[in-house]
Amino acid sequence: MIQLQSKHLMGVLNITPNSFSDGGQYNQKESCFSKINDLLSQQVSYLDCGAESTAPFNEACTLKDECQRFEEILFPALIKLSKGYEHQVFFDSGTLSIDTYRPETFHFVASFIRSKWPTLKLIWNDVSGILDSETLSILNSFSHCDYVYCHNLAPTRNKVQNHKEYSYNGPDLEDSFIDHLYDYFNQGLDFFNKEGLTPRVVFDPCFGFSKTMMQNKVLLSHLTSLIGRFPVEVRWLIGVSRKSFLQDAVKGYRRGAQDWSVVESLHCGLLSLWFQKLREYTLIFRVHEPHVFHGALQASSFFSMKEEELRPPKEI
């Protein structure tokens, strides 16, 4: 049977004016509060909040603007939410994921959260893929914080916004690209092992970052084999929700740019497959719509019988 305790739901909260899927919808205190309330009502245990869109067609915001969005939008919404009893379990045992590639931003947000809710867990969702002294400094400063190590080939943090310019350009073979991803994460695993940080790290193949459209589709096809090459103790964050390559796959069936229903149907099918193929692994699924996760989990449970338990149909 699928190990339900190893499959976790991460809800997306963009407090940005320009995110591709919901920019401007939750960048006010009240709309942010309503979105968090809605996500937690749908049993989200991880809340992933970002204040800057890293879509390549957007300009990077300043450090000051990013911190100001957290301070003026997220902080008041969390304070208001924490005064009630309905979602107190989140502040006692949930996880706030801070989505930023800037160590300064993470330190600013994490310091505030620690001062208000010491038991609320933290995770730094760092899409930069940069392993440097700043990374180690943050993890040493916040000893109870986990870290998401992403596949991103941008050479420095200030070039993360241009990640599309730094995609893998090795041999044009599916196996070569998957081998590249394996080597990338295996080197990361060596780094974290030497620092004694491996139990605090989550790997993210980072769909959409430093990848061509075709490479994203190759990763979709071979995700289970990639993860299967690592020990089951390694945790993974998987986020394909509303990505452009999913939109491209069903573009003939959408009724407009804001029609996400058919995209989310495809997303649900992928999650159901991964639930089945990666039963033993600890997976965190980053989604815009939590019902997609719950639907996929329910669908995959219908097919959890062992092969030897299946019976051939009776002859008529």
Neighbours of 50 (CB within 10 A): 24
Mean pLDDT (whole number) for 31-54? 93
For the chain, the structural domain boundaries read 4-303
* Of the candidates 74, 67, 60, 65, the residue with the CA atom closest to the CA atom of residue 103: 67
Ranking 18-32, 59-73, 245-259, 301-315 by mean pLDDT, the lowest is: 301-315
DSSP-derived letter for residue 259 is -
Highest mean pLDDT among 15-29, 247-261, 292-306: 247-261
Alpha helices in the chain (DSSP H): 29-41, 63-69, 75-82, 88-93, 103-116, 133-141, 174-195, 213-228, 244-249, 261-277, 290-301
| pLDDT score of 305 more than 60 | no
When pLDDT is cut at 50, 70 and 90, the band that residue 3 belongs to is low
In CATH terms, the fold of domain 4-303 is: TIM Barrel (3.20.20)
Residue pair 54/101 in contact (Cβ under 8 Å)? The answer is: yes
pLDDT surpassing 80 at residue 4: no
Rounded average pLDDT over 165-185: 94
Name which of 242, 246, 253, 220 is nearest 288 in CA terms: 242
| Range 70-77 average pLDDT | 96
Instruction: Report the alpha-carbon distance of residue 270 to residue 224 in Å, rounded.
Output: 11
- So what's the pLDDT on residue 256? 84
Query: Average per-residue pLDDT in the chain?
Result: 90
Q: How far apart are CA 28 and CA 118, in angstroms?
A: 25
Higher per-residue pLDDT: 144 or 182? 182
